[in-house]
Structure 1
Amino acid sequence: MKNILLIFLGSIVIAVSISFLGMPNGIADGGLIGIALLLYHAFSFSPAVVNFIGFIIILLVSYKHLSKSVLMKSSLTVVLVSFFTFLTESFGEPVGDGLVGGIFYGFFMGIGFAIILYAGSSIGGGSTIALVLKKKFGWNVVLVTFISDVVVVLAGVMIIGVLNTLYTIIGLFVGKLTTDYIIGGVDSKKAFNIISPKNEEIAQRVTEELSSSATYIKGSGVYTNNEHHILYIIVKNYTVVKFRKIISEVDSDAFVVVNNVKDVSGGTFFVNKEPEPQLQVEESQEENQENKTE
């Protein structure tokens, strides 16, 4: 149910972007939506109708090669995007500056696309064809999608002109950054590697105050050859400042290395707060025993 609501929300955002920013400001896009916008700018065809018909054609070609769950979610998304676009496509007005239109088109498209991706769906188009080509011929999905998008965008030079095509490219870049930021920031985390004689106290405070688990990794200094524990902890982004404060309070001279974590799955990284939380410490196996840290 949650994913369906997210698909509804993402579809509305994308439809509004098309109707209020893409159509009235001469902006195009990549993929099937890009084709729909170019046909609108060239012949005033409804982007909603073109997008829907185009996806039906793609669906007929690809339904034998893709899983039912992928096709069902993509079909729902395309139907909703087409429907909401059809309802709103006559209300858009030019913003007066094509560059501003392109930037905000990309921004809101990026938000909508991120929401739909988070729901486990897609907006169909070139990515669906790319998946089919991968299954049949082993072609690279990212490369095929990129090439198809480039072809559509460059075709816009003959329809919307060089300037608006450049605005479109800027919009695509903004959209990509927006999608990456939202997808990466929804549940972003950071990994801390800490070397300190007071690691046990730091780990205890982390489990009590931040509800994060901790792992000890055996290591030894190359110069001193003294064995010690490296404390490995993953914390949520919004707790980083508090965690740094904890480290500073316990040991201001602690050696700390921080890495951005793009994805975390499996294991026990976060624990529920209990009246008397227990530190979850795991000794690393032989593959980690050779870590050498000064």
Structure 2
Amino acid sequence: MILVLRALGVGDLATAVPALRGLRAAFPGETLSLAAPTWLTPLIDTIGGIDRIVPAGELEPLTAAPAMPRLAVNLHGSGPESHRRLQALAPEALWAFASRPAGHLDGPGWHDDEHEVQRWCRLVRYYGVPCSPEDLDLAVPAVDVPRGVTIIHPGAKSPARRWPAARFAAVARGLRSAGHRVLITGSASEHDLCVRVAHEAGLDAACVPRTELAELAALVAGARLVISGDTGIAHLATAYRTPSVVLFGPVSPQRWGPPAGRPYHRAIWHGTRSERGDLPGPVHPALLAVTEDEVLAAVEKVCHADVTP
């Protein structure tokens, strides 16, 4: 059995897809298990080739994982904590970035400014597994959702990455006036924020759907456009080649942005250097520098771009 650790969120999973597919192709006869939060199951199913999901929290021991896997692969972080979680299972081999504190001296070095997709491809390539950073597409969940909508997603995990609600509302008003059918999406904990944006934009309650992960993925796959901050839904737009405008604050799009060479994805950033993406707040100055008019101008560009693969 091969056990891969990636116990994080939606965007983290999406950026690891090429590395996961590389591992699947390299070991076709092996059981490929992914240690991840179980709520990600609908999205994991869209990757293909994952035989088993091992329930795992971000900083929790892997108590549900079988001991002594033939190979453990750390697609979670640079160590030492994540390395030690896998080492506790006594795998025959561990593929991971070099970490002296964890006693793992094999593996490539960690580069802070590397794009997240490239990072994990580089890791598996180091161990001889081919990996294509362009292999980001996901299958569409078989659920019934509206098509052709414009999605505005105002939430993000950290306050520093949340563009002000009033600005999202202004963009929503402008797009509705231009003929877009606008929906405001968010997690359960972000519902009040979504309602506030909808209210300020003059939208009714039907424009704030409560979506599970499979429904959100299908909604993005069939959408006309996605506008969001630097958060998981932006990576779903990449995975489904849906035109998107993504607003960045503390972290550069060079690390977490959509692939280069896709004119239908546009990242807006006014920063000068990357910082931690989990800053507690307030809204990062680079994000505050983004204006409503700038977002609406970017929408015009991505909506008229060629989406042909």
TM tier, shorter chain? under 0.3
TM-score, length-scaled by structure 2: 0.25
Task: Answer 1 or 2: higher relative contact order, Cα 8 Å, separation at least 6.
Answer: 1
Q: Whose Rg is larger?
A: 1
